[in-house]
Amino acid sequence: MTVVIGFEGSANKIGIGIIRDGEVLSNPRRTYITPPGQGFLPSETARHHRAVILTVLQEALEQAGLKPADVDCVAYTKGPGMGAPLVTVALVARTVAQLWGKPLLGVNHCIGHIEMGRLITHADNPTVLYVSGGNTQVIAYSERRYRIFGETIDIAVGNCLDRFARVIKISNDPSPGYNIEQMAKKGSQYVELPYTVKGMDVSFSGILSYIEEAAHKMLESGQCTAEDLCFSLQETLFSMLVEITERAMAHCGSQEVLIVGGVGCNLRLQEMMGVMCKERGAKLFATDERFCIDNGAMIAQAGWEMFRSGHVTELPDSWITQRYRTDEVEVTWRD
């Protein structure tokens, strides 16, 4: 039995999870929440993580019913992500690995999402749509790499939603994206927004600029409601994502789609992707907020796969990389 503990803290979530041979033993998490209209700054986010990380570590061990001696490997998020929070978590993981006398392993955050999705859904070889606050990519596995077929050329879809939430002062508790999703369910009027797909890539900055400028004018004049804007933004963004995912499926001859990342637990996105998959005779795989949103267990699962195939990160190499591409990692644990 191989037991791996995973430390995740690349953005405003701090999570520590423990995996034992495909079984999630524990997965506690804390979220740094700011007032409506505000984002989260790297330094303040790192301060939050420092304040709670040892409590979360204790929770993870207690929930799993394990002692440090039972752990075989310590995995942490190497990147991509925000610099200060990444450094905070990496320092704790390095310290824990040395105190416990365990090997250390730096994990790519995106691959953590993919491996967790594969574990939970049992998807075999899916086309992956990875959508979160910091990343938007369409990915497929080929020849020992997770290849990026399409991605955002500016901001991530989650960042677009979060920044729109700030414009109309939507609460950040539990997350702006979740609150937009709930408001969108009450929207009925579709407001036309820019739709920007460029081959296999997407662009969201133009949509954001347009809606940021138009939102208050439209709301004040009574042209539409805030719920209508949430509905329209979701429909436009998600249509673009479905389009590039379908294009990648056609290119790869794939009959499976796996949605991962924080935005992946949006039920409207899952519904729209499900319609496309049904029309193609394909299968859709998705998870709920326990595993879609950043969590420690996903780092533990990717670490488990990597550790079992011979990967270890030596202490002098255990830095962080804010821009750590998904396709930089050699995937030695798949065929």
| Residue 106 counted as an annotated binding residue | no
Is beta strand 256-260 parallel, antiparallel or unpaired with respect to 3-8?
Answer: unpaired
Query: Is 253 labeled as ligand-binding?
Result: no
Is 266 annotated in a binding site? The answer is yes
Residue 201 annotated as lining a ligand binding site? no
Report the alpha-carbon distance of residue 305 to residue 308 in Å, rounded: 5
Q: Which two tokens stand for residue 291?
A: 């595993």
Residue 209 in marked binding region: no
15 is in an annotated binding site: no
Q: Is 166 strand, coil or helix?
A: helix
CA 105 vs CA 31, 74, 313, 320: distances in Å: 24, 6, 5, 11
The torsion defined by the Cα of 207, 210, 215 and 217, in degrees rounded to 10, comes to -160
Residue 181, annotated ligand binder? yes
User: How are beta strands 197-198 and 201-202 bridged, if at all?
Assistant: antiparallel
Residue among 110, 18, 115, 11 nearest 65 (CA): 18
Cβ-count burial 97-124 (b if 16+ within 10 Å, e if not): beeeebbbbbbbbbbbbbbbbbbbbebe
Q: 235 labelled as ligand-binding? A: no
Ligand-binding annotation for 157, yes or no, is no
Cα separation, 92 vs 97, in Å, equals: 9
Distance CA 313, CA 74 (A): 10
The reply, when asked if residue 232 is annotated as ligand binding, is: no
CB atoms within 10 A of CB 267: 12
Q: Could you list the residues known to form a binding site, using ranges.
A: 109, 113, 130-134, 162, 177, 181, 266, 294
Q: Could you list the residues known to form a binding site for a divalent metal cation, using ranges.
A: 109, 113, 130, 294
Q: Could you list the residues known to form a binding site for substrate, using ranges.
A: 130-134, 162, 177, 181, 266
